[in-house]
Amino acid sequence: MRRRDWMFAAGMGGTLMGSPWGAVLAATPPAGKPRTPASAFARRPLMTGMALSPDGQRIATLLHNENRTLLVTRALTGGEMKVALSTDNLEFQINWIEWISNDRLVLSLSFPFKRYYEGWGNIDVDERRLVGVDPDGGKLVNLLKDRGGVAGILKYNTAQDRVIAFMDDGRHLLVALNSSEQSADKALYKVDAYTGQRSFHAPSKTGVRGWLVDRQMRPRVAFRWEDDEAVDILVSDVESSGWRTLHRNRPFDAANLQPLGFGLDPNVLYVAKNHEGLRAIFTMDLREPQPQLKLKLALADRDLNGYLVRDARGEAVGVSSVMLGDSSRSYWDPRYIAWQRDLDEALPGRANSIYDASKDGRTFVVSSLAADAPGAVYTAQLGEQPTMALLAPLYPDLEDVPLGERSAHSFTARDGLSMEAFLTWPPGRRGAKQLPLVVFPHGGPQARDSILMDVWAAFMADRGCLVLQLNYRGSTGYGQKHLEAGLRRWGLEMQDDLEDGVRELVRQQWVDPARVVIVGASYGGYAALMGVAKTPSLYRAAFAMAPVTDLVRMASDDGRWGRETVKLQVGDAVTDRERLAATSPVNQAARITVPVVLVHGTADLVVPYDHSKWMLAALQAGGKPVKMVTLEQGGHSILNPAQRRQVFDELDRFLAQYLPSSS
């Protein structure tokens, strides 16, 4: 393919440091400063949730400054920035934003709440709301009040932001809501984004909690929940009649099929399913009595996941997987393959992805991420004469800061299972010997780390530490075998994988075995506590954020995660009680001989704050060195700017105290 002559313009978005965006940017630390302030790393990416107006003339984004998150809009060519909404991320959070027309936005808000259920009492829930607002913040409307339709359907409907589709009229959207006060079955309603006026669109079906529609807004796929947490996938013909069961999904089943949606052809459904051990994309023709899978796109080295990407016509062109250096592999449409290769040529050595596009398919927002440098957001015109302009750096405080280099490595566990790990080296010290080490396992555990810059790892590397992020068994992205190897192995082989990673780094002489700590959040926090309990001589200290500490109680909490899901992922509260108790950090406090720091938000709806309170009490009862940092009103993710600075400062002190020569 011929090389494109890219023109990097300042007109579309400008340099932005001198534009209205600059008002929210903190100053870059002075050159020559020996230590980058922890606050520079604590800042969230400057921009998230970018969305282009249908005409491509304006952008809406969540802008994160030192104190708040702002929903702002601005013309791409510059001019005045409008603030439509603002939050400290404690009272509420903004989950996503979309333009429904050139002068109207729809967004999702969430907030923790105690909702009363008859027979159950007050239950902590994540309440979600759907809001319409003008670009300047005017005409703010809760779109799903109990107006019209069936009275009382919102009484137990905590998730009121389940948008199934945005309609092409620039005014309406389809939303799934409870069909009645007594039922959790979801019906479809047509909602006016300006007024909230609601009208009935399609009836509910027994047990159905989710829907997909085709481009003509006809319900075509329904998701029916069963008591054992199986999900029946129902499909219909184009008349939305004659529903039949296409497939039954069960938690963690290798045969699971994930419907993604339709393109222009209403008979062709795109699905994700395992193919030769890895997730791939298929099509199915729903006109067939027994639709057959036809392979559309597969990769030989990784799972292919994500939502459908559609062009200006609404045709499906690929999926939203982002890959360092060659994201063209996530498309099947020749135009997008060519455009993606052009982007990768213009911004080499980075993971470049088309984040959003105008309705005419001419103007794009491009996210560009890197392994060893802060990312950035660009606007682009793609085609024969491509142009690109910087919209904003994602971490402006780190633009001139030398960051640690990241490298990928393969590890073999003691039982022979191969896995991938990523190391972040202290700046300028790749390959150095006898470094202090931070083991930094990801949460999930059904998640994964990647080669792309991790701001937490970059911070710890800035403090002189080598950082290990190991995709232990149970991590996603490596196929079904790797995923299944982690089921019901919390505190066992999953923990051994981390230990084996440390041993390998010691064998390579990159790490001083006397200077190792473990840091993690959520499941990673569990792994941090279990690490210092299971192998107390391996680590000098543990820093655990929002950790799971009691697996028996977790497995008994049916309503939070689902009984069958937890049974398969962790274990059964009754039949596996002995194993779960033995692999619960709260029961292993006596084995912990090193200092522990616990960090937890009181409004955490994923891992309740009680888990850290139980662990604190167990450690204090045994006279163990422990510090508890409570984040009032904080959720599972640390989104409030002041609390993020507090946690990074605590981590800074932790590293300075327990890996003193790394500072």
pLDDT at 34: 63
Instruction: Please tell me the pTM assigned to this model.
Output: 0.92
d(CA 514, CA 453): 27
- Give the residue numbers spanning the domain of 490: 406-549+584-662
In a domain, 160, yes or no: no
pLDDT at 195: 96
Counts for the chain of helices (H) and strands (E), in that order = 12, 35
**Are 153 and 634 a contacting pair, CB within 8 Å?**
no
Residue by residue, DSSP assigns 51-63 as EE-TTSSEEEEEE
pLDDT at 10: 41
In a domain, 16, yes or no: no
Mean pLDDT, each 10-residue run in order, the chain (663 residues): 44 36 38 74 95 96 95 91 96 96 97 78 86 96 72 75 95 92 88 95 93 96 88 90 91 94 97 95 95 95 90 93 82 93 90 91 93 94 87 94 95 95 96 97 94 96 97 94 95 97 97 97 98 97 98 83 85 95 97 97 95 98 97 96 97 95 59
Which strands sit side by side in the sheet containing 7-8, from one edge to the other? 7-8, 387-393, 376-381, 363-369, 351-357
In a domain, 122, yes or no: no
In a domain, 472, yes or no: yes
Q: Dihedrals φ, ψ of 178, to 5°?
A: -55, 140
In a domain, 79, yes or no: no
d(CA 635, CA 111): 9
pLDDT at 604: 95
In a domain, 507, yes or no: yes
In a domain, 102, yes or no: no
Domains: count for the chain: 1
Nearest Cα neighbor of 41 from 454, 520, 459, 644 is: 459
**Are 346 and 388 a contacting pair, CB within 8 Å?**
yes
pLDDT at 565: 87
Give the chain's end-to-end CA distance (angstroms, integer).
48
d(CA 78, CA 298): 41
For residue 623, give the CATH number of its domain.
3.40.50.1820
